[in-house]
Every structure is written in C-alpha cells, then in structure tokens.
C-alpha cells in the first residue's frame, strides 16, 4: 500500500514538474516576443518621425537654396520661391506639405497643390539674414536655418 501511494505521488510530482518546466519555457518565450515587439515598434516609430521630418526639412531648404528669390506666405505656413519664370509654392495643407508650380502671374493661393510629404506643421520665420524652417512630424519638432539668397 505504501509503495503504491509513493508510486502515485512520484507520478504526480513528475507530471507537475514537467508541466512547470513547459510553463517556464512559455513565459520566457512570451517575454522575449514582447521585448522584440516593443523594440521593433520603437525602431519603426523613431524611423518614421526622424526621417519624415528630416526629409521635409531638407526638401524645403533645398528649394530655398536653389531659388532666385524667396518670400514667406502671409500666414508663415509656407514659402513662395521663384526660379526664372516659374513660381513654386510650398505650403502646409491637410496632413502634409503640398507643392504647387505656376507661371509668373498665376494663382498662388494655397490650394490645388500636390502632396509631397506627410507632416503635422510647417512654419517659416524670417530671422534677419536667415530663414528659420520648423517642421513638426509625429510629435517631433525639427528646425533648420537657411541663408537668404
């Protein structure tokens, strides 16, 4: 009888120990998957905000540098650059930066442009001999100074 009881107890303990090991394994794997998912999410969101705002800043600053003349729009949410007989208007529209190309004398209102990059806000400030361009993208705010002329 005692031998039978001991045998049954050891079988139960063996089964329990096996299940415990599987549980431990499962918990470790779930923690690893959680850490990996969090890391991937952080990398992805960091990439989108950094490179989104950096690309927008570079696009606007390169347009200013390559232009013959540049003027800030009345609401400071855009710039009007002139290259020969072509006027390019870059402005902040719904969901991003928009660009519109018109001939001299054409309509330079902030509508009808083409979406070039997604952004939350754009502002251009005249800072003496420099333009200060500020772009907000995904909660991050990036600014750059560009020389006039």
Binding residues for another protein, per CB under 8 A? 14, 17-18, 21-22, 24-25, 28-29, 32, 35-36, 39-40, 42-43, 46-47, 50-51, 54, 57, 61, 127-130, 140-147
Q: Taking the complex as a whole, how short is the minimal distance between the CB of residue 65 and another protein, in angstroms?
A: 9
C-alpha to C-alpha distance for 108 and 81, rounded to whole angstroms: 11
Other Cβ atoms closer than 10 A to 90:
25
Name which of 28 and 104 has its Cβ closer to another protein.
28
CA–CA gap between residue 1 and residue 124 (Å, rounded): 90
CB of 112 to another protein, least distance (A): 30
Contact 100, 89 (CB under 8 A): yes
Nearer to another protein, 47 or 115 (CB): 47
What are the φ/ψ torsions at residue 31 (nearest 5 degrees)?
-65, -40
Q: How do beta strands 86-93 and 96-103 pair? A: antiparallel
Supply the minimum distance, in Å, between the C-beta of residue 62 and another protein: 11
Residue 83 CA to residue 35 CA, distance in Å, equals 51
Measured from the CB atom, is 104 or 145 closer to another protein? 145
Q: With respect to another protein, which residue has the nearer C-beta, 42 or 111?
A: 42
Question: CB of residue 46 vs another protein: minimum separation in angstroms?
Answer: 6
């Amino acid at each position: 009888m005692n031998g039978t009881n001991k045998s049954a107890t050891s079988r139960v303990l063996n089964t329990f120990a096996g299940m415990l090991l599987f549980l431990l394994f499962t918990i470790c794997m779930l923690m690893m998957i959680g850490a990996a998912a969090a890391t991937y999410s952080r990398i992805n969101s960091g990439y989108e905000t950094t490179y989104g705002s950096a690309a927008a800043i570079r696009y606007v600053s390169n347009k200013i540098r390559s232009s013959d003349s540049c003027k800030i729009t009345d609401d400071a949410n855009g710039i009007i650059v002139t290259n020969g007989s072509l006027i390019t208007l870059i402005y902040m529209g719904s969901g991003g930066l928009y660009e519109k190309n018109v001939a001299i004398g054409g309509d330079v209102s902030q509508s009808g442009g083409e979406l070039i990059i997604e952004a939350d806000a754009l502002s251009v400030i005249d800072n003496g001999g420099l333009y200060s361009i500020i772009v907000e993208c995904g909660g991050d705010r990036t600014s750059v100074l560009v020389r006039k002329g």
